[in-house]
Amino acid sequence: MTLQLSRPSAGSRHASAARSGRRGPRRGWLFVVPALFFYGLVVLYPSVAGAVYAFTDWSGLGSQVNPVGLANFGRLLGDAEAVGSLWNTLLLAVALMIVQNVIGLALALALDTAIRGRNLLRTLFFAPAVLPPLVIGVLWKYVYSPGGPLDGLLAAFGLEGLQQSWLGDESLALWSVVVAIVWQHAGLSMVIFLAGLQGVPKELYEAAALDGASRRQRFRYVTLPLLAPATTITLVLTMITGLKLFDQVFAMTGGGPGYATETLSLNMYKQAFVLNDYSYGTALALVLTMIVAFISFLQLKVLRRLEVEA
Amino acid sequence: MTRPAARGGRGLLLEVVMAGCAVAFVFPLYVLLMVALKRPQDVATNVLAPPSSVYWGNLAEAWSSAEMGKALVNSTVVTSLSVMMLVLTGSLASFALARWKRGLGYGVFLLFVLGLVIPLQLGMIPLYQLMRDAGLLKTYTSLIVFYTGHELPLTVFLYSGFLRALPRAYEEAAYVDGATAFQAFRRVVFPMLRPVTGTVIILNALFIWNDFLTPMLYVSGTAQQTVPVAVFSFVGEYSSDWGIIFAGLAIAVAPILVLYFVFQRHIIKGFAGGLKG
Q: What is the pLDDT of residues B231-261, one digit of tens each?
A: 888 888 777 788 888 888 898 899 999 999 9
pLDDT at position A68 is 82
Q: Count the Cβ atoms, other than its own, within 10 Å of residue B68.
A: 22
**Tens-place pLDDT, residues B31-59:** 888 888 888 777 777 777 777 777 888 88
Of all residues in chain B, what percent carry a pLDDT higher than 70? 95
CB distance A251–B235 less than 8 Å? yes
Shortest Cα distance, chain A CAs vs residue B234, angstroms: 11
The rounded distance, in Å, linking the Cα atoms of B127 and B214 is: 10
Work out the end-to-end distance of chain B between its first and last CA atoms, rounded to an integer number of angstroms: 36
Q: Please report residues of B whose CB lies closer than 8 A to that of A279.
A: none
Strand partners, A67: A56
| Min distance B146 CA to chain A CA atoms (Å) | 6
B 76-135 near A (Cβ less than 8 A): 85, 88-90, 92-93, 95-97, 99-100, 104-105, 108, 111-112, 115, 117-127, 129-130
With beta carbons less than 8 A apart as the criterion, state whether A155 and A123 touch: no
Chain A residues within an 8 Å CB radius of B97: 32
Please indicate if any CB of chain A lies within 8 Å of the CB of B188: no
DSSP string, chain A: --GGGG---HHHHHHHHHHHHHH-STTTHHHHHHHHHHHIIIIIHHHHHHHHHTTB---SSSS---B-TTHHHHHHHT-HHHHHHHHHHHHHHHHHHHHHHHHHHHHHHHHTSS-TTHHHHHHHHHGGGGS-HHHHHHHHHHHTSTTSHHHHHHHHTT-GGG---TTTSTTTHHHHHHHHHHHHHHHHHHHHHHHHHHTS-HHHHHHHHHTT--HHHHIIIIIHHHHHHHHHHHHHHHHHHHHH--HHHHHHTTT-STTTT--HHHHHHIIIIIS--HHHHHHHHHHHHHHHHHHHHHHHHHHHHHHHH-
**Chain B contacts of A250, Cβ < 8 Å?**
212
- Which residues in chain A have their CB less than 8 angstroms from residue B15's CB? 115-116
- What is the rounded distance in angstroms from the CA atom of residue B149 to the CA atom of residue B115? 10
B225's torsion region: left (phi>0), alpha (psi -120 to 50) or beta?
beta
- Interface contact B96-A31, CB threshold 8 A: yes
Structure pTM? 0.87
Mean pLDDT by 10 residues, chain A (310 residues): 35 42 60 94 93 83 76 85 90 94 93 86 93 93 88 85 84 93 94 88 84 84 84 87 90 86 89 84 88 87 72
> Is residue A196 within 8 Å of A231, Cβ to Cβ?
yes
As a whole number of angstroms, the distance between CA A235 and CA A296 comes to: 9
Task: Look at residue A210 in the predicted model and tell me its pLDDT.
Answer: 86
d(CA A288, CA A304) in angstroms, rounded, equals 24
Burial of A176 (0-12, 13-18, 19+ CB in 10 A): buried
Contact A273/B95, CB-based, under 8 Å? Answer: no
For residue B185, what is the DSSP state? I
Q: For testing the chain B interface, which of A39, A244, A295 should be mutated: the one with the most B CBs within 10 Å?
A: A39
- Between CA B35 and CA B38, with CA B37 as vertex, the angle to 5 degrees is 65
CB of A50 within 8 Å of any CB in chain B? Answer: yes
SS3 B100: coil
A127 → closest Cβ in B175, B232, B260: B260
- Of the residues A58, A135, A193, the best mutation for testing chain B's interface (the one with the most B CB atoms within 10 Å of its CB) is A135
Q: Tally C-beta pairs within 8 A across A and B.
A: 292
Q: DSSP code of B52? A: S
Nearest CA in chain A to B246: A139
CB neighbour class for B155 (10 Å; exposed up to 12, middle 13-18, buried from 19): buried
* pLDDT value for A309: 56
Q: Are A221 and A208 in contact (CB under 8 A)?
A: yes
Closest CA to A276 of B9, B101, B125: B125
How high is the pLDDT of residue A60? 67
C-alpha angle A189/B26/B198, rounded to 5°?
50
Nearest CA to A238 out of A301, A178, A171, A310 is that of A178
Residue B81's nearest CA partner among B193, B194, B205, B255 is: B205
Asked if B272's CB is within 8 angstroms of A24's CB, the reply is: no
CB atoms within 10 A of CB B58: 25
Phi-psi group of B133: left, alpha or beta (phi > 0 → left; psi -120 to 50 → alpha; rest → beta): alpha
Please check whether residue A116 is in contact with residue B15, taking contact to mean a CB–CB distance below 8 angstroms.
Answer: yes
- ipTM, two decimals: 0.89
Residues of chain B contacting A46 with CB distance shorter than 8 Å: 122-127, 130
Q: Does A126 touch chain B (CB under 8 A)?
A: yes
| Residues B31 and B220 sit within 8 Å (Cβ to Cβ) | no
Q: Tell me, what's the pLDDT at B191?
A: 93
Residue B127: the pLDDT is 93
- For A132, the closest of B171, B172, B212 (CB atoms) is B212
pLDDT of A198:
85
Distance CA B227, CA A104 (A): 29
Contact state of A132 with B275 under an 8 Å Cβ cutoff: no
A42 touching B, CB under 8 A? Answer: yes
C-alpha angle with apex B83: B80 to B88, nearest 5 degrees?
Answer: 125
Q: Spell out which residues of chain B touch residue A140, defining contact as CB-CB under 8 Å.
A: 28
pLDDT, position A136: 93
How far out from the chain centre does Cα B179 lie?
36
Contacts of A21 in chain B (CB under 8 A): 168, 172, 175
B145 touches chain A (CB under 8 A): yes
Query: A53 contacts in B (CB within 8 Å)?
Result: 125-126
Distances (CA, A) of B34 to B28, B29, B31, B46: 10, 8, 5, 11
CA dist B213 and B38 (Å) reads 30
Mean pLDDT of chain B: 86
Judged by a CB distance cut-off of 8 A, whether residue B235 touches chain A is yes
Residue A25 has a pLDDT of 53
* Spatial distance between the Cα atoms of B143 and B208, rounded to a whole number of angstroms: 9
Contacts of A267 (CB under 8 A, 6+ apart): A81, A82, A85, A255, A284
**Residue A140, amino acid:** W
Integer Cα distance of B118 and A227 in angstroms: 28
Nearest CA in chain A to B2: A215
Mark yes or no for CB contact A46/B124 under 8 Å: yes
Of A1, A121, A133, the CB nearest to B22: A121
* B276 to A229: CB separation less than 8 angstroms, yes or no: yes
> What are the phi and psi torsion angles at A56 (to 5°)?
-125, 180
CB of B204 closer than 8 Å to CB of B155 = yes
Query: What's the full length of chain B, in residues?
Result: 277
Contacts with A, B 24-53, CB within 8 Å: 25-29, 31-32, 35, 44, 46-48
Q: What angle separates helix A118-126 from helix A173-198, to the nearest 10 degrees?
A: 140
Q: How far apart are CA B167 and CA B98, in angstroms?
A: 11
Beta bridge partners of A56: A67
Q: Under an 8 A CB cutoff, do A135 and B47 touch?
A: no
**B277 has pLDDT over 50:** no
Cross-chain Cβ contact A285/B117 below 8 Å: no
Q: Is the CB of B213 less than 8 angstroms away from the CB of A269?
A: yes
Please state the rounded mean pLDDT for residues B82-98.
Answer: 94
